[in-house]
Amino acid sequence: MGILNVTPDSFSDGGEYTDTEKALIRIEAMIAEGAEIIDVGGESTRPGSNPVSEVEEIKRTIPVLVQALERFPDVIFSIDTTKYGVAKKALEAGVHIVNDVSGLKKEPRLAELCASYGAGYVLMHSQGDPKTMQLNPQYNDVIDEITTFFKEGIEALKQAGVESIILDPGIGFGKTLQHNCSIVAGLKKFSNFGYPLLMGASRKSMIGQILNNRPVDGRLAGTIAVHYHSLLQGASILRVHDVQEAADSIKVYNSLES
Ligand code: 9MG
């Protein structure tokens, strides 16, 4: 899953793809490098970021998605949003998956909406919202709490009629370094649910912290290490900025596994 942030303020690529033509060029490049899913987001979810209005998010994402879906009909597109109105417009345009970092907490109606379009849904765990989530995240047992969250979320999605569910423990969303490391180490436990597991650690602060405060542009090798470990633990979707490198590592992983 290649990341396309059409935002002015995302932590890694903020401001680079706010122009539709530049966004389409980036999508084409990610597809050429091996991305099978393109995740388009119009609101930054980095810690401390400010929310944007529904109107603004629609203005940023929908024109790009409309053109991208037409130009790349064989590619799967997801909309990274927590808002009903944005998800609805994206699904009307033909998007296949809703990637909801709030895990139905902000907008429970996303379950029915996805079901009515036959769309997939990424159920991501978070504690708190982006503005405050990193202030003091606390868990009794992070794996247990995420397991309970997945159980309840899957139940709600199944009841609504969503057939295609992807589980994501939400690296960096209300988690300390220790929580993130425990999640990556224990990821296999979530494969018991029988749904695809998504891992998104690309260039995140978890990597920077492990590597003595390494800046964002020096986190590629660390990202690949975390993602490779996740593949070994059962992840089947990697959400990444660096598509070529991720695709190469998946190819190597698959050839060693078979
Ligand atoms: C939007 N976004 C930022 N980080 C993410 C992650 O780890 N997973 C998913 N599903 N979305 C994310």
Mutate to test the pocket of ligand 1, among 99, 190, 216 (most ligand atoms within 8 A of CB): 99
Q: Give dist(CA 169, CA 52) in Å, integer.
A: 24
Q: List Cβ neighbours of 2 (8 Å cut-off, separation of 6 or more).
A: 27, 30, 31, 33, 35, 37, 38, 39, 240, 241, 243
- Is 213 a residue whose pLDDT tops 80? yes
User: What pLDDT digit, counting tens, does each position of 181-194 carry?
Assistant: 999 999 999 999 99
Atom of ligand 1 nearest to the CA of 170: 7
100 lines ligand 1 (CB under 6 A): no
170 lines ligand 1 (CB under 6 A): yes
- Give the distance from CA 159 to its chain's centroid: 23
End-to-end CA distance of the chain: 22
- Is 13 a residue whose pLDDT tops 80? no
Give strand ranges (E) for 19-119. 37-41, 76-80, 97-100
45 lines ligand 1 (CB under 6 A): yes
Query: Which residue segments constitute the domains of the chain, with CATH numbers given?
Result: 2-257 (3.20.20.20)
Atom 5 (ligand 1): residue with closest C-alpha? 200
Residue 200 Cα to ligand 1 middle (Å):
6
Q: Give dist(CA 223, CA 200) in Å, integer.
A: 9
User: Residue 10, exposed/middle/buried by CB under 10 A (0-12, 13-18, 19+)?
Assistant: buried
Q: How does residue 83 score in pLDDT terms, banded at 50, 70 and 90? A: very high
Q: How does residue 106 score in pLDDT terms, banded at 50, 70 and 90? A: very high
101 lines ligand 1 (CB under 6 A): yes
122 lines ligand 1 (CB under 6 A): yes
- Tokens for 130? 């982006």
Mean model confidence pLDDT for the chain: 95
Residue 211 Cα to ligand 1 middle (Å):
21
pLDDT at 16: 78
- Is 15 a residue whose pLDDT tops 80? no
Closest residue by Cα to residue 132 from 19, 50, 40, 34: 50
Stretch 117-134: mean pLDDT, rounded? 92
Stretch 72-94: mean pLDDT, rounded? 98
Q: Has this prediction a pTM greater than 0.85?
A: yes
Residue 45 Cα to ligand 1 middle (Å):
8
b/e string for 54-63 if b means 16 or more Cβ within 10 A? beebbebbbe
Stretch 9-14: mean pLDDT, rounded? 72
- Is 135 a residue whose pLDDT tops 90? no
User: What pLDDT digit, counting tens, does each position of 25-35 carry?
Assistant: 999 999 999 99
pLDDT at 169: 98
